[in-house]
Chains A and B, each alone.
Chain A
Amino acid sequence: QSALTQPPSASGSPGQSVTISCTGTSSDVGGYNYVSWYQQHPGKAPKLMIFQVSKRPSGVPDRFSGSKSGNTASLTVSGLQAEDEADYYCSSFAGSRNWVFGGGTKLTVL
């Protein structure tokens, strides 16, 4: 049950695109198409942005997209906006109905 690996920080200017990676193992990210991504603003509860690698819940802008290759999943935010500045966490199913999160990435909009 080791945490998934995310870069501690990422940044981009308004209108640009930024990609955040999430690296696990064949026992979690690589073994299942059950990766999800969460956005968390300071002092707030997390919000689901992507589920099952690339699906967006209703209401999430299509500027947010997800993908996976091998043991690494990625979240791409296109057309960066000021309100996208937040912490982002990935999560993966890890078998036996267990879940594991990444350490989080602080996204700064310059």
Chain B
Amino acid sequence: EVQLVESGGGLVQPGGSLRLSCAASGFTFSRSWMSWVRQAPGKGLEWVANIKQDGSASSYVDSVKGRFTISRDNAKNSLFLQMNSLRAEDTAVYYCAGEAGTYHGFDYWGQGILVTVSS
């Protein structure tokens, strides 16, 4: 059974930092592109960032470029999102998501973790 379990969320002040983690199991993590997708309260889904299987390439949505960094540790089947200079508009449930095949879209999803940016 595929499992993605996010951790590290919580309340942070504007300008602060937070590091999200995602533990993967049940599929070959090292063969999958992995992404973070977020959903602001009552809003739609927004793709945030992704990273290639070996970690050699990554992409970001414009609104987080220069502030967020995605990384992975294939030895530990783990995905990370380092979030700096957080803003109120970054408040959302953050999902870890994975692609089972090339350009499949997001086959695997975690349960999500809430990040709240507020003073």
Contacts and interface: CB of A to CB of B under 8 A. Distances in A.
B55 to A, nearest CB: 13
Contact of B45 (A46, A57, A93, A98): A46
Contacts of A64: none
B50 interface: yes
Contacts, number: 66
A45 B59 contact: no
A93 B59 contact: no
Contacts of B109: 45-47
A57 B109 CA distance: 14
Given A46-B109, A98-B47, A99-B47, A1 B103 contact: no
Interface in B46-68: 46-47, 50, 52, 57, 59, 61-62
A48 B107 contact: yes
A87 B110 CA distance: 18
Interface of B: 33, 35, 37, 44-47, 50, 52, 57, 59, 61-62, 95, 103-107, 109-112
Q: Which 3 A-B pairs have the closest CB atoms?
A: A36-B105, A104-B44, A45-B109
Interface of A: 1, 3, 32, 34, 36, 38, 40, 45-48, 51-52, 57, 89, 91, 93, 96-104
